[in-house]
Structure 1
Amino acid sequence: MSIEKGKQAPTFTLPANNGEHVSLSDYKGKNVVLYFYPKDMTPGCTTEACDFRDHHESFADLDAVILGVSPDPVESHKKFIDKHELPFLLLADEDHQVSEEYGVWKLKKNFGKEYYGIERSTFIIDKDGNLAEEYRKVKVDGHVESALEYIRENLQ
């Protein structure tokens, strides 16, 4: 499936750290910041999650919900949230099906080894469930502020 700005975002249902199953459709009527990250407790992912945490109220003021997705299991997400006091849900995409639908499951190279994993990416989905903006190959520094600014300028 290809994902295209202005078109309906791929729907999904995934288990969340709160013990429930969460669907994108649960957030119809709100802006959604759907961010995909490689792994709980790693330096870049922790920095990104804490940046989203620190701007959580600003996103909420713009009627935006933050959802994080990684292939880690729910138990790992719970530990990550507890350790860093994250105020938003993390979703477990253990079979990477949703990551593949959003085109973020990629062949990666690290220290000469090839493996598949998530390419850090963020998708902003509008209140009607359409993809409004996408950020691929995200660099953590300044990214959360860019996403917040996009919503402030384009979805209010």
Structure 2
Amino acid sequence: MRLLAYGGAVDFVDHYLKISASLARDSLRHFVEGVVAHFGDEYLRKPNEADLRRLLYAAEERGFPGMMGSIDCMHWRWKNCPLQFKGLYSGRPGKPTLVLEAVASYDLRIWHAFFGTPGRCNDINVLDRSPLFNDVFEDRAPAVNYVVNGHQ
């Protein structure tokens, strides 16, 4: 599983472990289903109101009032990109690239992850396409009040 997590191809994994590609895929699927079943309720969810209060308080104590976490985009070269997708996922050096947008809190917990859509994507394009703020725009986000420079 570590080889797959670090980006090893299934063909390499089946050769390394001496198992078939289909067994490697099935094993990975079984592993992921187990992780979701065991950790899903606690770790694979959006922050609730109590989480937001805790995160906002911790950020304010560190001098960052109103901050839930830090957002960043990572650009990963897609080494084995299928030929038909190379033009869609062309990255900075002209090589196929996947973009991952993530939000992590001070305790290194990842609260949001989004793989950007096709196209020549910079971080702003990815954020524009991201579902990160959908709950805010659709009035589904929990109400959270905070003070910045004396203004609520």
Q: Same fold (TM over 0.5)?
A: no
Structure with the greater relative contact order (CA < 8 A, sep ≥ 6): 1 or 2? Answer: 1
What TM-score, normalized to structure 1? 0.23
